[in-house]
């Protein structure tokens, strides 16, 4: 282990002059930061409804922790402090920001009447970002379904109605923001909301809408999500081709680190299968799951339970993934084939229970994704798929209880991001992996779904005192220092661009994925991510050429 650490330091020093060209910044989601849940015409989401009706659930977790002091209806108060928060990001010279739109701000009743004040808020946010030189990345769905969709027809368990309404919502977003937002994310981490909102889980894990019943409901929710993704990407391509919007679906994937060469193939299957049950159908040439999945069982996914798609559903989905959007938090060693002893991952005492942080894994996992999806995506360059790290962060359970001085001097988070940036630099500069965006989770301490007892922000928010005052943590300064001088490979749109003419275009739905003869993201076709990458490209000049070509594809 010591030797490996020395090698990484030496390699990092060698490439220190070559700051990777990455658009970088922070990620957030509406429900977790905005507050203002019933302001300016917004309707309740399933999360608002949950807390309005089950507040004791939150309070019961409050004994001895600051949750009672945090206000689930204010969270970080971003709705009222939007300009201050954008100015904060500009002060770090960040060049990308991922936020989500609360569907129930746009359609308080799920469908029907548009709430103009909701449109206006996000329109102001987008212009504020563009004026600050920050690329907006818009998530369309980060778990906060309008409660009205749930009340009217059971939301994600009613496939036709859900897709109809999600498509109408998408249409409104494209018409209003499509000229200014190039990077779109449809559904964030479907396994989380489908599993915990609809699948059979124990009480402590239940999330709204709390319909936890049959295992098949979780899989139906996942399938509805994939088809809805396909439908809204097809809409964007057919009705708003002039905007050339690019789409992905952010998935959280834990990296299996092969311990020995014999472990590589199965470790890669374990890693890739976490994404393939969703991305597989969107990236494949035929719109179906990769065949190998049927016999795989990992984590949240049992391949034998995946519902079959109709021919029309497959046609809707195929070729609708433009880039890989990876939420990277955790890793684990895999020695299941070789049986060789695995190093122990150091888990810090302040880490949240589910995260096993291994920052160096960013190098291997981005390379694995770029290589595996490279043959499948039309936007690949040099056989490699473009990758956005759409979330990456370090959660602390002790900061929430401690004094602000401890929060600000967030040593473990700083160490995590130091490892991440060292790995990213090697990934981009050495391996030529086309990572074009990196988003730290999260700008602000916020509401971590059912709790306030975990903090993920690189900026402290005074939730305990209730002032919501922002104080920069040292991790934010360090991250900004690393990326200082990094050039974003992506052109910005103009603020205030006019909304589209919403006449239906007659152009055909967009092309499918590349004509490559590959029909699945074949895990066994990928190389060892832990090996030297000399087979991908040779020399820095090749990397620059490749990267520029790739950036052009995206602009």
Residues taking part in catalysis: 189
Residue (430 or 448) nearer to ligand NOJ, CB: 448
Residue 209: cis peptide before it, omega within 30 degrees of 0: yes
Q: Which residue's CB is nearer to ligand NOJ, number 139 or number 526?
A: 139
* Total of chain residues touching ligand NOJ, rule CB under 6 A: 11
Nearer to ligand NOJ, 271 or 533 (CB): 271
Which pair of tokens denotes residue 270?
């374990």
Closer to ligand NOJ by CB, 449 or 547: give it. Answer: 449
The least CB distance from residue 29 to ligand NOJ, in Å, is 5
Whole-number Å distance between alpha carbons of 409 and 412 = 9
Rule CB under 6 A: choose which of 85, 189, 217, 313 binds ligand NOJ.
189
> Where in 381-420 is the site for ligand NOJ (CB under 6 A)?
391, 395
Residues contacting residue 53 through CB under 8 Å, at least 6 positions apart: none
Q: How far is the CB of 343 from ligand NOJ (least distance, A)?
A: 25
Nearest to 105 by CA among 45, 191, 18: 45
Q: Per-residue b/e over 522-545, b at no fewer than 16 CB within 10 Å? A: bbeebebbbeebeebbeeeeebee
Query: Which 240-269 positions form the footprint of ligand NOJ (CB under 6 A)?
Result: 252
Each residue 418-457 as x (binds ligand NOJ by CB under 6 A) or -, in order, gives: -----------------------x------x-------x-
Min CB(250)–ligand NOJ separation in Å: 7
Q: How far is CA 344 from the centre of its chain?
A: 28
Nearer to ligand NOJ, 322 or 448 (CB): 448
Taking the complex as a whole, the smallest distance from the CB of residue 232 to ligand NOJ amounts, in Å, to 19
Within 92-182, residue ranges assigned H as helices are 103-106, 116-131, 147-153, 159-177
CB closer to ligand NOJ, 73 vs 496: 73
Among 21, 29, 271, 281, binds ligand NOJ (CB under 6 A): 29
Q: Could you tell me the two tokens for 441?
A: 């989770």
β-strand pairing of 246-248 with 183-187: parallel
Site map for ligand NOJ, 159-188, x if CB under 6 A?
Answer: -----------------------------x
Footprint of ligand NOJ on residues 203-232 (CB under 6 A)?
Answer: none
| Residues 6 or more apart in contact with residue 342 via CB below 8 angstroms | 259, 333, 334, 335
Phi–psi pair at 515, nearest 5 degrees: -75, 15
Which letter does DSSP use for residue 261 in this model?
A: G
Per CB under 6 A, contacts with ligand NOJ among 319-358 are 327
DSSP three-state, residue 389:
strand
Minimal distance, residue 73 CB to ligand NOJ, in Å: 18
- The DSSP symbol for 508 reads P
Shortest distance in whole angstroms from residue 139 CB to ligand NOJ: 9
Give the integer Cα–Cα distance in Å for 97 and 438.
Answer: 9
- Site residues (CB under 6 A) for ligand NOJ? 29, 32, 188-189, 252, 327, 391, 395, 441, 448, 456
């Amino acid at each position: 282990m010591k030797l490996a650490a020395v090698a990484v330091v030496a390699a990092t020093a060698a490439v220190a002059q070559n700051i990777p060209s990455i658009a970088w910044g922070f990620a957030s989601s509406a429900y977790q930061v905005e507050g203002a849940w019933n302001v300016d015409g917004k309707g309740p989401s399933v999360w608002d409804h949950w807390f309005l009706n089950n507040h004791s659930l939150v309070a019961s977790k409050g004994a001895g922790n600051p949750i009672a002091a945090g206000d689930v209806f204010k969270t970080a108060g971003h709705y009222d402090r939007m300009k201050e928060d954008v100015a904060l990001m500009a002060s770090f010279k960040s060049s990308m920001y991922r936020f989500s739109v609360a569907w129930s701000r746009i359609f308080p009743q799920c469908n029907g009447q548009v709430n103009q004040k909701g449109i206006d808020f996000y329109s102001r946010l987008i212009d504020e970002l563009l004026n600050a030189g920050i690329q907006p990345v818009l998530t369309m769905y980060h778990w906060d379904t309008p409660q009205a969709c749930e009340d009217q027809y059971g939301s994600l368990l009613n496939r036709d109605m859900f897709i109809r309404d999600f498509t109408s919502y998408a249409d409104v977003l494209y018409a209003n923001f499509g000229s200014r937002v190039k990077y779109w994310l449809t559904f964030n981490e479907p396994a989380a909301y489908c599993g915990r909102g609809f699948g059979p889980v124990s009480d402590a894990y239940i999330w709204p809408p709390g319909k936890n019943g049959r295992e098949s409901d979780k899989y139906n929710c996942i399938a509805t999500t994939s088809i809805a993704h396909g439908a809204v990407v097809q809409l964007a391509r057919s009705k708003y081709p002039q905007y050339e919007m690019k789409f992905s679906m952010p998935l959280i994937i834990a990296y299996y680190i092969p311990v020995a060469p014999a472990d590589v193939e199965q470790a890669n299957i374990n890693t890739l299968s976490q994404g393939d049950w969703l991305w597989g159908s969107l990236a494949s040439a035929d719109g179906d799951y990769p065949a190998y999945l049927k016999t795989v069982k990992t984590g949240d996914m049992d391949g034998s339970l995946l519902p079959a798609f109709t021919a029309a559903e497959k046609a809707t989905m195929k070729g609708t993934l433009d880039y890989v959007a990876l939420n990277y938090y955790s890793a684990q060693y895999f020695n299941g084939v070789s049986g060789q002893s695995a190093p122990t991952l150091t888990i810090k005492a302040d880490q949240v229970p589910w995260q096993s942080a291994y920052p160096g894994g960013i190098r291997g996992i981005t390379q694995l994704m770029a290589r595996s999806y490279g043959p499948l995506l039309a936007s690949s360059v040099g056989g490699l798929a473009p990758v956005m790290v759409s979330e990456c962060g370090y959660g602390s359970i002790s900061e929430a209880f401690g004094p602000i001085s401890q929060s600000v001097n967030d040593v473990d988070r700083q160490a995590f991001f130091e490892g991440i940036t060292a790995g990213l630099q090697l990934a981009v500069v050495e391996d030529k992996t086309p990572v074009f965006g990196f988003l730290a989770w999260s700008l602000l301490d916020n509401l971590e779904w059912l709790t306030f007892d975990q903090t993920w922000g690189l900026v402290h928010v005074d939730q305990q005192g209730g002032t919501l005052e922002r104080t920069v943590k040292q991790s934010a300064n360090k991250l900004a220092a690393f990326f200082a001088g990094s050039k974003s490979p992506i052109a910005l749109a103009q603020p205030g661009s006019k909304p589209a003419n919403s006449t239906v275009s007659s152009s055909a739905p967009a092309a499918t994925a590349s004509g490559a003869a590959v029909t699945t993201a074949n895990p066994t076709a990928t190389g060892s991510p832990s090996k030297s990458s000399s087979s991908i490209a040779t020399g820095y000049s090749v990397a620059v050429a490749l990267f520029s070509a790739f950036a052009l594809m995206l602009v």
